Structure 1
Amino acid sequence: MTLKFKSKIVLDIIMFILLLLCMSYSLIGTKWHEYLGIILCIGFIIHCILQKNYFAKIISLKYTLYNSFILIINLLTFLTMFGLIISSLIFLDYIPLFLKTSFPNLINFARTLHLLSAYWGFILISMHLGLHWQIFYNLITKYTKNKLSYLLNSKLILWIIFLYGLNNFIHYDLISYMLLQNNFVYFNPSQSLLSFFVDYLSIVATFIILSNYLRKSFLNFQTKDCILSHILYKLDKK
């Protein structure tokens, strides 16, 4: 394992923890939300720099169903994070004066953009993690000496986690924020930070499982399609 790869993994873990903390906005307080959000945005920029080779290969990619699915998730994730950065700069007053006077509804726009980017970003980042689940699976099994391999491979346990996370997704009504049906995010003041983390972690797990399943399905479809094309090519040659 190279130093660069280790650095990427450590950065991803830190960003993931920061993401969960930022999603608990009201429970950690506005100031902490701002500070951690800034660190998260800086981490995202570093993440993109470390992944510069992927961005360079986008144009030359062969756009199969599998590659297109991955590209869509990655680009949408990038857009939501970019939306968070832009809306945060407006909130933190890092914008030229002429923009404030020219666009009096800029703050309202920033608030809407921030809400959309935060909740769509949360789901898309979870799906982005699902695309790379095999890497995290290998690391978890390696450092736990395969003690968790049964849990991670058990279909029953995965279904329980998936349904629990789906229930929390519905319970916290995230879809209403994602579709702007509700512009005010409600937090239960009596809920502990730990309880919030567990519930939101389950939502992350649900979309990791969904994304990983879709990735494997598209890959299998692509493999079968390639095999079929090869067979048809051979028959045509005969």
Structure 2
Amino acid sequence: MQTKMKMKAGIDLLMTVLLLLLMAYQITGQELHEWFGAGELLLFLLHNILNMKWYGNLFKGKYRLPRIIQTIVNFGVMITMLCLVFSGIVMSRHVFAALSIHGPMATARMMHLAASYWGFVLMSVHLGLHWSMILGMCRKLTGSREKPQAVTWILRVMAALLAMYGLYLFDRKNIFSYVFLKQQFVFFDFEQSAEAVFVEYIAMMGFLVFAACYISKGIASIHTSKNSVQKNEEKEEGSR
């Protein structure tokens, strides 16, 4: 079990790093971008193999709001990955060029643009929905103890500031205009340093993780409160 947990943690970490590298096209260039994309696909397949139990439970149990949201996000990630694989192979000049798979280049480019940013958003949200579980897994693997309350609050404030900066960047860089194809070309700043590019994408990912984590916690809290009220009402009815 410990080995499987370590494998999951390692794969998820590598997927996150590769996602950031894939978004930084102006730093990596075409050939590296393709190799990173192929690596992300391989890790995505391994991630799904290690989580096959989730697919087996799809038709079991009740679907309440938190589970519905998680399921939509998971299938959204899968759809974007399929779109990226198809469009990436069609446009490939290096990794998949020997396959001689051709298709409508204009359609593939538009698909790749939208799916890239949808993938970034949905994968970040996916991380946020599982953030508490990820932190718990890290504690188990490292054997770390509970942090002092003051340290916990300092880290929360830092996370909130990072999320606020990420939200500002989302607006400044018009990310949703790419998601909804309001802009059909990405404007890369090739003079921007690699450090600045990665800091910006980490901040935007941080915003999505932060928002997804706390929104999901809020929904779960409301759901728990409703269940508690219902149980108390049922007890009162039974005692009459």
Does the alignment reach a TM-score above 0.5? yes
Q: Which residue of structure 2 aligns with residue 110 of structure 1?
A: 108
**Residue correspondence of structure 1 range 1-238 to structure 2 within 5 A:** 2-92=2-92, 94=99, 100=103, 106-138=104-136, 143=142, 150=150, 153-154=153-154, 155-237=156-238, 238=240
The separation in 2 between residues aligned to 1:88 and 1:36, in whole angstroms, is 11
Distance 1:180 1:149, change over 3 A: farther
Number of aligned positions between the proteins: 231
Residues 156-194 of structure 1, C-alpha deviations (whole Å, 9 max, x = no match)? 323311111111112222111011011111111111111
Of all paired residues, the percent bearing the same amino acid is: 29
Residues 79-115 of structure 1, C-alpha deviations (whole Å, 9 max, x = no match)? 1122211222222354766xx4xxxxx2222111111
The separation in 2 between residues aligned to 1:61 and 1:171, in whole angstroms, is 42
Do 2:89 and 2:101's aligned partners in 1 also have CA atoms closer than 8 Å? no
Residue type matched to 2:130 in 1?
A: H
Distance 1:32 1:96, change over 3 A: closer
Q: Which residue of structure 2 aligns with residue 103 of structure 1?
A: none
The separation in 2 between residues aligned to 1:200 and 1:39, in whole angstroms, is 19
Do 1:27 and 1:187's aligned partners in 2 also have CA atoms closer than 8 Å? no
The separation in 1 between residues aligned to 2:89 and 2:228, in whole angstroms, is 50
Distance 1:4 1:141, change over 3 A: closer
> Which has the higher mean CA deviation after the structures are superposed, 225-234 or 42-51?
225-234
CA RMSD of aligned residues (A): 2.2
Residues 32-86 of structure 1, C-alpha deviations (whole Å, 9 max, x = no match)? 1011111111111111111110011111131111211221222212211222112
The separation in 2 between residues aligned to 1:43 and 1:148, in whole angstroms, is 35
The separation in 2 between residues aligned to 1:213 and 1:56, in whole angstroms, is 28
Do 1:84 and 1:117's aligned partners in 2 also have CA atoms closer than 8 Å? yes
Q: Which runs of 5+ in 1 are unaligned?
A: 101-105
Q: Which runs of 5+ in 2 are unaligned?
A: none
TM-score (normalised: structure 1)? 0.88
Distance 1:151 1:78, change over 3 A: farther
